[in-house]
Amino acid sequence: MGDTGAMERCAFPAAVLLLSLVLMGATAFEVEIKDDKNATCIYAKLSVNITVQYETNTSSSKNITFPVPSDVTTNGSSCGSDGKAPLLVINFGNSQSWSLNFTRNNSTYSGSALIFTYNTNDTILFPDALRKGLISSTAMFLGPVPLNSTYKCISREVVVSENVTQIIYDVKLEAFMANGTLGKEIICDADKPSPVPSPTQPSTTASTAIPAPTSKPLDKPTMGNYTVSDASGICLLASMGLQINTSLLSEGKNIWRPFNIDPLGIKTNGTCTNQTGTLILTENRTIIEFTFALKNKNHFYLEEVNITLINGSAFSSRQNQNLSTWEASVDSSYMCHKEQQIKVSEDLFINAFDVRVQPFGVNNGTFATAQQCSLDDDSIVIPIVVGATLAGLIVIIVIAYLIGRRKGYSGYQTL
């Protein structure tokens, strides 16, 4: 960009700098910050390209772009203690520094302040700067990430602050690491494949056949274990992974956006009575309510699902009070490993994975014997499918043969 001046005025060092950049190829730095027990508390591997706009001694303004090199030190970093936030400091070049401190709550951590401090005394990067000395610029980086997981993002994120633009990409980062080991990777939204628009909606009248709203580009959701208690202890047990697939969030554009429910962010409550059991899962932007009922006194089933999506101050609710699924006998639990799609409305589906529920008769907080869903039972389903297909084929062949014979006769007769 604007670094031609640098090359003219200071050709040799600039050439060395450029050469070293070329030799290093993709520049990325990788660092670990350790606590006094030698356990890693912050791990970071990322690439940052920085553009600084500065005033030159000819009173014009100029932009220079440079990457944070792979050769960095971490002096000044700390794991945090006594209410002090953990701090990652990356020093490079001639007193340039890039620092990020972190904050956490019970379930997530995030970046607090990203401060880039540049030294315009550096005659290689800022040969003609008007103001000499250290200048800091503060921005925000890193939204909430579940604790004990590693944030991973290959896509570029552009972070802008006064006079400084940073492109941050190829990030792998974890703070507040438990036990000095990296947790499981969480992929940023930008890296997730974009949802595919659904085919046109089926007419509401002929909607008994469940349409496939979208291909599923998401990972399988994380399993959550949920319990509801009453005065006598745990009365409802559920474990499952949940994914919502909806076109409600696309502001009338009919684009299906699946997203996973993260059990870490869920607050659970609900009620148990002799006749019904409800499980309410509440998250920042989603409230899901499952209502179970009894059928013939000795079977339970999922009768109703209510779901509310909160988007800022706006929200939409959808419900289906007419379900008849997840059925099992009252003295057992219902279990299904296969993914199941529950249609809540034309514009909202729930995909449930590895479901196990017991809304009645829970003893000692543990599941009773499982009644497996028929979907899971491949040993029965496959022979039935194969058998039915074969029978169908035979019928078709016989009919084709009969028609062929009759056509043959009449054809010859009319000629």
Ligand X SMILES: *[C@@H]1O[C@H](CO)[C@@H](O)[C@H](O)[C@H]1NC(C)=O
Q: How far apart are the first and last CA of the chain?
A: 85
Specify whether the CB–CB gap between 75 and 88 falls below 8 A: no
Q: How many CB atoms lie within 10 A of CB 106?
A: 6
**Residue 280 or 344: which CB sits closer to ligand X?**
280
The one among 97, 101, 286, 351 contacting ligand X by CB under 6 A: 101
| Among residues 58, 95, 254, 363, the one that binds ligand X under rule CB under 6 A | 95
Size of the site for ligand X (CB under 6 A): 44
Region 171-200 residues binding ligand X, contact defined as CB under 6 A: 178-179
**CA distances in angstroms from 360 to 51, 267, 290, 298, 331, listed in the order given:** 62, 21, 14, 10, 8
**32, 35, 55, 327: residue in contact with ligand X (rule CB under 6 A):** 55
Residue 53 lies near ligand X (rule: CB under 6 A): yes
Rounded to the nearest whole angstrom, what is the least distance from the CB of residue 68 to ligand X in the complex? 10
Minimum CB–partner distance for residue 253 and ligand X (Å): 29
Angle subtended at Cα 183 by Cα 350 and Cα 47, rounded to the nearest 5 degrees: 100
Residue type at 15 in one-letter notation: A
Q: Given the rule CB under 6 A, which of 157-165, 243-251, 344-352, 395-403 is the region that contacts ligand X?
A: 157-165
In the set 110, 112, 117, 340, which binds ligand X (CB under 6 A)? Answer: 112
Instruction: Determine the residue type at 359.
Output: P
Query: Is residue 119 a contact point for ligand X (CB under 6 A)?
Result: yes
Does position 246 interact with ligand X (CB under 6 A)? The reply is no
Query: Smallest distance, Å, CB 239 to ligand X?
Result: 5
Does 374 contact ligand X by CB under 6 A?
A: no
CA–CA separation, 235 and 368 (whole Å)? 12
Instruction: Give the shortest CB-172-to-ligand X separation in angstroms.
Output: 16
Using alpha carbons only, give the angle 192, 198, 204 rounded to the nearest 5 degrees: 145
Q: Does 169 bind ligand X (CB under 6 A)?
A: yes
Residue 35 or 346: the one with the smaller Cβ distance to ligand X is 35
* Residue-wise DSSP of 41-90: EEEEEEEEEEEEEEEBTTS-EEEEEEE--S--B-TT-B---TTPPPEEEE
Residue type, 158: V
Rule CB under 6 A: say whether 370 interacts with ligand X: no
* C-beta of residue 9 within 8 angstroms of C-beta of residue 127: yes
Residues near ligand X (CB under 6 A): 2, 21, 38, 49, 53-55, 61-63, 67, 85, 95, 101, 103, 105-107, 112-113, 119, 121, 132-135, 147-148, 156, 162-163, 165, 167, 169, 178-179, 223, 225, 239, 264, 269, 271, 274, 280
